[in-house]
Structure 1
């Protein structure tokens, strides 16, 4: 099995929409929405296994005066490709892209009951910062807020401040 992780392109919009629609609990983004993400400030990375889309990750860039923060919007790996490192690879690629875009940290929320995702995030250095009660629907569940602060020297180098 050959795995490739790369930035998604406009030609991937239909595959991304199809994968998201097939994932229970995910909001339904139209192909137009995907095209907007791919042509805008969002970071969208895709995992392919033997030429087929096996997963993706999306982060938006929030520009606050004086800083940029990335927020993980979604990370999806098809059930048949889970537990083989694709989620870790997608997230690492996304983190590198967020840093290259000048982000100082990446933040996210995750269901309290999603132990696999929480372990993945903690393994990459994410810290729990809080809880949003009853954040998720169908079923109702709390969200754990997590973030990863990027090393300031890496951000300074990206901004040309060596």
Structure 2
């Protein structure tokens, strides 16, 4: 598996993963294009490529000393293989490179697997956004302080 920066040419594969992994609240292609348009100024998006195809992607927003994990998606057949952890490690490293002192994210309250990964990486639950997702599911807000 190899990580590399996401480009607009990746959008067909990325959007297929987005719709498969987030059927109830998938981002539109226009939203994703907007994120990529801010790269590298305030955004950092990566894809994971295995066997010649994209199997995961992730994105970071960073401004001043604060960063936010925008998204992480890993195809089901590649979950539990370390791909998501590698992508999160890259986002944390990029946030540090950009001078962020802390990083935030929201995760579905019903996604215990993702919450466990984030906790393993040192994220702490700091609040709840009620009915955050389109289907009414709450979001758990999480934060991790970044050391130099």
Q: Which TM bucket (shorter chain)?
A: 0.7 to 0.9
Take 2:54 and 2:34, find their aligned partners in 1: how far apart are those partners? Answer: 19
Give unpaired runs (5+ residues) of structure 2: none
**8 A Cα contact 1:5 1:48, kept in partner:** yes
1:92-148: CA deviations, max 9, x gaps? 11111121122221101111221100100000000111112222232x222111011
Q: 1:34 aligns with which of 16, 32, 37?
A: 32
Higher fraction of strand: 1
TM-score (structure 1 length as normaliser):
0.80
**8 A Cα contact 2:126 2:141, kept in partner:** yes
Partner of 1:145: 141
Residue aligned with 1:91, SS: helix
TM-score (structure 2 length as normaliser):
0.87
**8 A Cα contact 2:25 2:133, kept in partner:** no
Partner of 1:74: 71
Partner of 2:53: 52
Matched, 1:113 2:114: no
Following superposition, which runs of at least 4 residues in structure 1 exceed 6 angstroms of deviation? none
Take 2:143 and 2:81, find their aligned partners in 1: how far apart are those partners? Answer: 24
Give unpaired runs (5+ residues) of structure 1: 155-162
